[in-house]
């Protein structure tokens, strides 16, 4: 039979999923999210290493030092995240790193060559990374991506690019943002559906095990006293049969009088009078 929990779907809005299920889902997904975060740190480190190599080749040591710092930060963070088991701390770290990356990009736009096409394609990569891999709140992803797109819009307005080219770059960034957010939404729904399916399977298996235990209890040979009809349990203690059944199954005993006993009691009462 379908239940309310079976129909739940992931949503970015808080409170739509019961707190108990949301808490269990967070614990279930922590390893996957830690792996994603660690992987993106390594990817960002490789990206910074490639930039540092280019900077050293063209003779720009100041930017090379900055990229070297990013390489060390990325590798250290990737190794550290692998050892994180606390969900809340992982969220804090991921949000801090996302804000650091976005803040650094916004700051560097004030003193780098804004007419370098590379920075706009790099922002597309950062949007993909933040929206698809970093385990931060969905609305935080929207804010970070919107900040990058807005900053690029301001940057493009300060360049000598023709208006149609600047508009095309801005549309490319917006399209990448919308695509990534939709993809992340669908991925979260699929992962949550898999979790709910596993949770439902565990519940069914537990019900089957409980039913099997009840059947085993009912199929056992019960020693019953021939005189008082008490039942002897596994520990050798004699107890009333209704107590035994109640303690070994989910059956609740309600007492009554059968017609034969009722007739017998009536006859005894009449003869006693």
Residue 75 or residue 100, greater confidence: 75
pLDDT, residue 221, reads 66
Are residue 24 and residue 121 in the same domain, yes or no?
Answer: yes
Which residue has 């095309």 as its token pair? 168
Look at residue 178 in the predicted model and tell me its pLDDT: 93
Asked whether residue 58 falls in the same domain as residue 107, the answer is yes
Residues 6 or more apart in contact with residue 18 via CB below 8 angstroms: 5, 8
**pLDDT tens digits, one per residue of 170-212:** 898 899 999 989 998 988 888 888 888 888 888 889 888 888 8
156 and 261 within one domain: no
The residue out of 201, 223, 243 marking a domain boundary is: 201
Outline where 158-251 has alpha helix (H).
Answer: 163-219, 241-248
Q: Could you tell me if residue 95 is inside a domain?
A: yes
The count of structural domains within the chain is 2
Residue 136: partners with Cβ closer than 8 Å, 6 or more residues away: 91, 94, 95, 98, 130, 144
Residue 186: other Cβ atoms inside 10 A: 11
Residue 227's Cβ-side half-sphere holds a number of Cα atoms within 13 Å equal to: 1
Residue 251 lies in a domain: yes
Say if CB 67 and CB 51 are below 8 A apart. Answer: yes
**What span, in angstroms and rounded, lies between the C-alpha atoms of 172 and 123?**
11
Residues 24 and 142 in one domain: yes
| Mean pLDDT, all residues of the chain | 78
Q: Are residues 26 and 119 in the same domain?
A: yes
pTM: 0.57
173 lies in the same domain as 268: no
Per-residue pLDDT tens over the stretch 210-229: 888 777 766 666 778 877 87
Contacts of 138 (CB under 8 A, 6+ apart): 12, 181, 184, 185, 188
- Same-domain check for residues 197 and 235: no
Pair 133, 252 in one domain? no
| CA 212/CA 105 separation, integer angstroms | 61
**Does 244 lie in the same domain as 182?**
no
């Amino acid at each position: 039979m379908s239940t309310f929990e079976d129909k739940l779907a992931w949503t970015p809005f808080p409170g739509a999923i019961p707190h108990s299920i949301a808490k269990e889902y967070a614990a279930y997904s922590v390893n996957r999210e830690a792996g994603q975060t660690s992987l993106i740190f390594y990817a960002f480190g490789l990206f910074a290493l490639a930039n540092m190599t280019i900077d050293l080749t063209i003779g720009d040591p100041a930017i090379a030092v900055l990229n070297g710092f990013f390489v060390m930060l990325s590798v250290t963070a990737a190794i550290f995240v692998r050892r994180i088991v606390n969900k809340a701390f992982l969220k804090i770290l991921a949000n801090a790193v996302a804000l650091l990356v976005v803040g650094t990009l916004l700051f560097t736009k004030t003193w780098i060559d804004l007419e370098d096409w590379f920075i706009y394609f790099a922002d597309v990569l950062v949007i993909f990374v933040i929206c698809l891999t970093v385990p931060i709140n969905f609305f935080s992803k929207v804010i970070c991506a919107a900040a990058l797109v807005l900053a690029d819009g301001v940057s493009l307005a300060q360049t000598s690019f023709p208006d149609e080219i600047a508009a095309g770059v801005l549309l490319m960034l917006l399209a990448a943002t919308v695509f990534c957010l939709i993809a992340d939404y669908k991925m979260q729904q699929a992962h949550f559906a898999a979790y709910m399916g596993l949770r439902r399977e565990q519940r069914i298996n537990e019900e089957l095990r409980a039913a099997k235990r009840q059947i085993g209890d009912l199929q056992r040979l019960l020693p019953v006293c021939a005189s008082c009809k008490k039942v002897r349990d596994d520990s050798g203690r004699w107890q009333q049969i209704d107590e035994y059944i109640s303690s070994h199954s989910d059956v609740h005993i309600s007492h009554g009088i059968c017609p034969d006993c009722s007739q017998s009691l009536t006859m005894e009462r009449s003869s006693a009078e």
